[in-house]
Amino acid sequence: MKFAVLVFPGSNCDIDMYHAIKDELGEEVEYVWHDATDLSEFDGILVPGGFSYGDYLRCGAMANQSNVMVEVKKAAAEGKPVLGVCNGFQILTEAGLLPGALLRNVNLKFMCRTVQLKVENNNTLFTNQYEQGEIINIPIAHGEGNYFCDEETLANLKANNQIVFTYSGENPNGSLEDIAGIINEQGNVLGMMPHPERAANEILGSSDGLALFKSIVKQWREQHV
């Protein structure tokens, strides 16, 4: 399986994502600059964290205007897996690929530490290697990770089982309903604030994030091999 790791001016988790795929997962991966106009050669799209365009205007707003986002939307429409982590999650909401928005953390501070997540839905292409209800340890590093949506959107998320991860125990940023990650209705676009690529090897403090990437590859191989 071949992955694209998008790179925007200000991305700073692209290297983490690249090495999680290449060194821990053992799959093919390439960096793709934000002005790219063709992602057709890739089987999966990874939108990493960081501070794209310095987080000016709103987090992810300027990145959404990049050429490559036209191709990301096309890939999503084709059913390819698209994963947005942290700033990547913010970009996907700005692009309309996921509902809701990410607001300032309730304590108005940047937070960087490991938190516990609960797997709320393991019947997705991103979570099929987890157990339902499993508690995993994944790092966060964000100042605007407070997920918010209106009541109608929240009801739809619940009805369609689109809430994939929630914070377990501590809710570090004030997210509505403890939401840490959601998928689109089609199930092929996931946005999450915690960083699974930073939990891909025990030397990093946890390997709990690696199963997310293994899940993507497992489902892709079942469909294409």
Catalytic residues: 86, 195, 197
- Positive or negative: CA dihedral 16, 75, 187, 98: positive
What is the distance in angstroms between the CA of the first residue and the CA of the last residue of the chain?
10
**Alpha carbons 190 and 164: distance in angstroms, whole number:** 8
**Alpha carbons 101 and 115: distance in angstroms, whole number:** 21
Report phi then psi at 210, rounded to 5: -65, -30
Report phi then psi at 158, rounded to 5: -70, -45
Tokens matching residue 59:
């987090």
Q: Are 18 and 55 in contact (CB under 8 A)?
A: no
**Residue 77 CA from chain centroid, whole number:** 17
SS3 60: coil
**Alpha carbons 208 and 131: distance in angstroms, whole number:** 12
Tokens matching residue 133:
């209800």
Beta strands 179-183; 163-167: pairing state: antiparallel
